[in-house]
Every structure is written in C-alpha cells, then in structure tokens.
Amino acid sequence: MGEGRIVTAALLVIGDEILSGRTKDRNTGTIAEHLTDIGIRLKEVRVVADDEGEIVAAVNALRSRYDYVFTTGGIGPTHDDITADSIAKAFGVAIGVDPRAEKLLSEHYARRQVELTPARLRMARIPDGALLIPNAISGAPGFRIANVIVMAGVPDIMRAMLEAVTPELDTGVKLLSVTIRVERPESEIADVFLAHQRRYRDVAMGSYPSIRNGHFESELVLRGSDPARLAEAAETLKAALKL
Amino acid sequence: MGEGRIVTAALLVIGDEILSGRTKDRNTGTIAEHLTDIGIRLKEVRVVADDEGEIVAAVNALRSRYDYVFTTGGIGPTHDDITADSIAKAFGVAIGVDPRAEKLLSEHYARRQVELTPARLRMARIPDGALLIPNAISGAPGFRIANVIVMAGVPDIMRAMLEAVTPELDTGVKLLSVTIRVERPESEIADVFLAHQRRYRDVAMGSYPSIRNGHFESELVLRGSDPARLAEAAETLKAALKL
C-alpha cells in the first residue's frame, strides 16, 4: 500500500454513558492519533446509544462509506452489551458462542482458577465469519467482520486490541502536519494565512484558537502528504508572519 | 415543558483537528453533562471534517431527527472557518454581514481600541433569519437558526454561549441516575443485574467496567425519570448484591 492511495476510516462509539456525560470518552483521541500515525484518515466519528436500531443504522451507513469502521464499547458480559448482536444484525449473519472465543475465555479463566459461567460465556458470542482480535488484558476477544473492527470500551483493553489489529490493516499515504504557534489572535493573521493557503493549494491549512493567560493565541496547522512541500509552506508562512 | 415530554438533541463537532487527534475534544463531555442536567437528552454525537458537504449533510440529517442540534467549531475569522456558510447552505438561506453582529463586534473592538478589519468582520457573517447568541469573552457571536444552535469551539467561549442560550431552550423530563460502584468484575454480577433489569423494566440499567489497581470494577448505572422508583430499584439492587 502507501503509494498515493488514501485509506479512510470512521469510528463508532457505542455508549449511553458518553451521551449522558457521566463518562468522558478517551478512546476517540487515542484512535484518531493512532490512525493518523499509521496512514489511515479518520473522517467521521459517531457516538450512539446502546440501542440495536441505532447501532445497526450507524454501522451500515459507515461501513459502506469508509475503508474501515472501528467501534468501541458494548462487548462485555452484561445485558446492556449488545454490540456483537447488533453487528451480526447489520451484516445479516448469525451469531452464537464461537468455539475459538470460548477456548480463549476458558484458558483465560482457567489460569485464574475462575469458573467460566454463562455470563462470561456471553463474551464468546461472535458473529459468523468474523476474525477474532486477541485481548491480552481480560481474555474476551474483539473481532473483525469485513471492514468493521469491534473493540472494547475500556481504554486499556481498547488500546491492546487496536495494537493487535494494526498489522492487518491496509494503510495509505500518511497525512503529515506542521504546527506553528503564534502569540496573536486569529483575526490578526487571517489575511496572511488566507493568502498563503491560496499560494499552497495542496497543503491544507487550519487555524485553532486558544486562550492562554487571558490572551488569544493561534495554532496554525499545515497538513499534506509531501514532506518537502509541507516544509516549504511552513517556512514561507513563518517568514510571512515575521516569526 | 417538563410534564412527560422527552426533549432530544444531537451534537455536531466540526473540526479536522479532532479527527487528526491533534486536539482532544473537551466540549462533548461538557455539553452532554449540561443537557442531562437541564432535561434534554443527547442522543447522538457526530464529528465531521471542515468540509461544507459533510457539514451540510450532517446538519440536515440531525435537525430533522432531533429537537435540537448543537454545533461547535468553525466560526472564527480564518478561511477554514466555514460553519456559518455551511449552515446557511443547509437551510437554503442567504448569508452576509449581519448588522447586529457587526455592532457587537465593533463595540467589542472599540473597547479594546482594536480595528474592526475585514478578517474580523468575517465573524459577523450570520445566516438570514438567525438569532444571535452573545459571546461575553471574545465578542463574535454564535447564532441559532430554527432548532440548530451554532457555538464556538474554544471551550471557554462554548460554555459562555451554552449558558447564554439555555434559558431559551425547551426542556423535558430529566433523566435521573444512580451509580452503584461494585468492586467485582462485571461477569460476577451479570446474572443478578439482568434479573434486576427484568424486574424494573422502566429503569434503564447499564454496567461500565473499569480497571483500578489492576482489578476490574463495575459501575452500575440506573437511569429513570421517577425518583422514587429509581431509589427503590437502586436499594433492592444493592441488597441483591449484598452491598
């Protein structure tokens, strides 16, 4: 891969607790950074409730549109964990206790001398045709079906699954970025910045304001896939801003 | 409002910088908590790029489906700030420099003895028919058009706009919640929890695992709009779990 191809992804965060504000989502930032690093462009994120209809609709909208869909949340042992069943429904495939997943769980619990109860076995329910994603932390696997990658919501487990699945992903041209911090408000640099964007149409330029010690600052972010071109655009922008 | 009616909302976060992972979104958590507190149910969040087609499609999908759509980001003075124009396009209305917004900006900058340049005046571009949302921090207003509420992305400014718009919002039945922390993994309490959910069908019960000091814990969250019923479900669940 890599030569010129752009690989895209969406992220679907499944969880009432994010929508209620009780839990602050930390996975989006982690996944966004990781995908950027490996050359996959995250184009959209959705957060939906623990509701089968919502999950099915979102998975089907996103999987037809992007190269990959990553999901987080809803694959635990309790009754509100409905992601696996919803994914099976979205693909129109059957779901049941998967012998490979059952083996992983029974080994995991045997090592800890803990019984593999029916509740725990619920975590071995995997849609037909899916590949398992190992979970080094708590045994219960994630899975991949076609271009949909289903991961846990607990950040440590999500990260382990994301690492595990990464070698199997097609990747494309990396989007590189350069950030220029300017201790001036956006409105003071907007004209120079626009002129510069027009000069370098192949470099995407965005400005992100922040407030520091009561003063407005701007972070100018230049993004492109050609390192030399990006460096030139950044250097000439700095010169134009007298930095 | 209030009596029995459920008021729903979606949040649309506009920003390449969130999708690239460079900036971690902090507004979603703030808005989710605030809406829950005032009796509006956040049902969906989407994050899309700084792309007119994406913004228009998302706004139109969400505004027809929920009582309110809140947006954050993309209303600054630089060329990559395209939210106001995209919202005008979504509604099929004209957009230009709004005299009310121009007055707010000119007063704001006059107080600071700063010139109202064309770049700054760009922040007075408001779709026809919109109501302004004051911005006590940096002058440039947000706006509301029909059920879409357009706010800044800088967290301090977003919060000021959210507070300013709150008295104008219809609100409905508040979703109350009780959290029970259990120092056991989900798989040990799943059966009791499911039985309890079946006993209290009008109380939504979710379990959220976390890892603390290397041990799995579960937070059991019960949600409902009847305080007495919620309290009863929580007390009987604690008893069933011998807490």
pLDDT in tens, B26-56: 999 999 999 999 999 999 999 999 999 999 9
Residues of A in contact with B22 (CB under 8 A): 33, 177, 179, 221
Contact indicator for B50, A47 with CB cutoff of 8 Å: no
Q: CB–CB of A76 and B119 under 8 A?
A: no
Q: CB–CB of B205 and A79 under 8 A?
A: yes
Indicate whether A162 and A197 sit together in one domain: no
Question: Residue B108: is its pLDDT beyond 90?
Answer: yes
Q: Which of A176, A203, A173, A202 lies closest to A67 in space, CA to CA?
A: A173
**Residue A184, number of CB atoms within 10 A of its CB:** 13
Q: What is the pLDDT of residue A211?
A: 87
Indicate whether B183 and B147 sit together in one domain: no
Q: What is the pLDDT of residue B211?
A: 87
Indicate whether B186 and B230 sit together in one domain: yes
Number of structural domains in chain B = 2
Q: What is the pLDDT of residue B1?
A: 44
- Can you point out the beta strands (E) in A141-214? 142-145, 148-151, 176-182, 204-212
Residues A234 and A220: their CA atoms lie apart, in Å, by 9
CB pairs under 8 A between A and B: 192
Q: Among A19-28, A189-198, A206-215, whose mean pLDDT is lowest? A: A206-215
Residues of B in contact with A73 (CB under 8 A): none
Dump the DSSP string for B38-98: HT-EEEEEEEE-S-HHHHHHHHHHHHTTSSEEEEES--SSSTT--HHHHHHHHHT--EEE-
- Residue B40, Cβ density class (10 Å: 0-12 exposed, 13-18 middle, ≥19 buried): buried
Each residue's pLDDT tens digit, A88-129? 999 999 999 999 999 999 999 999 999 999 989 999 999 999
Residue of B nearest to A32 (CA): B21
Q: What is the pLDDT of residue A206?
A: 95
* First vs last C-alpha separation in chain A: 38
Residue of A nearest to B206 (CA): A80
Residues of A in contact with B29 (CB under 8 A): 21, 24-25
Q: What is the pLDDT of residue B3?
A: 56
Q: CB–CB of B20 and A47 under 8 A?
A: no
Residues of B in contact with A211 (CB under 8 A): 137, 154, 156
Domain contains A96: yes
Domain contains B65: yes
Each residue's pLDDT tens digit, B47-90? 999 999 999 999 999 999 999 999 999 999 999 999 999 999 99
Question: Residue B129: is its pLDDT beyond 60?
Answer: yes
Pick from A47, A48, A225 the residue to mutate for testing the B interface (most B CBs within 10 Å).
A47
Question: Residue A1: is its pLDDT beyond 50?
Answer: no
Q: Which residues are A47's β-sheet partners? A: A13, B45
Indicate whether A157 and A200 sit together in one domain: no
Q: Which of A43, A210, A64 lies closest to B14 in space, CA to CA?
A: A43
CATH of the domain at B184: 3.30.70.600
Residues A177 and A154: their CA atoms lie apart, in Å, by 29
Residues A116 and A102: their CA atoms lie apart, in Å, by 9
Indicate whether A144 and A197 sit together in one domain: no
Residues B63 and A149: their CA atoms lie apart, in Å, by 29
Mean pLDDT, chain A, integer: 95
CATH of the domain at B82: 3.40.980.10
Residues of B in contact with A76 (CB under 8 A): 186-187, 207, 209
Q: What domain range is B201 assigned to?
A: 176-240
Q: For helices A52-63 and A83-91, give the axis angle rounded to 10 degrees.
A: 50
Percent of chain A whose predicted confidence (pLDDT) is above 90: 92
Quickly state the pLDDT bin for A4 (edges 50, 70, 90). Answer: confident
Quickly state the pLDDT bin for A3 (edges 50, 70, 90). Answer: low
Question: Residue B2: is its pLDDT beyond 70?
Answer: no
Each residue's pLDDT tens digit, A135-183? 989 889 999 999 999 999 999 999 999 999 999 999 999 999 999 999 9
Residue of B nearest to A178 (CA): B22
**Cα dihedral B206→B209→B210→B214 (10° resolution):** 150
Pick from B7, B30, B47, B198 the residue to mutate for testing the A interface (most A CBs within 10 Å).
B47
Question: Residue B210: is its pLDDT beyond 60?
Answer: yes
Residue carrying structure tokens 């972070």 = A219
Indicate whether A154 and A181 sit together in one domain: no
Q: Which of B143, B18, B138 lies closest to A187 in space, CA to CA?
A: B138
- Can you point out the beta strands (E) in A4-102? 8-14, 41-48, 68-72, 95-97
Of the CA atoms within 13 Å of residue B242, those in its CB half-sphere come to 3
Contact indicator for B66, B44 with CB cutoff of 8 Å: yes
Residues of A in contact with B153 (CB under 8 A): 208-209
The beta-carbon neighbor of A36 closest among B20, B138, B210 is: B20
Residues A19 and B8: their CA atoms lie apart, in Å, by 11
Q: What is the pLDDT of residue A2?
A: 45
Chain B nearest CA to A131, separation (Å): 23
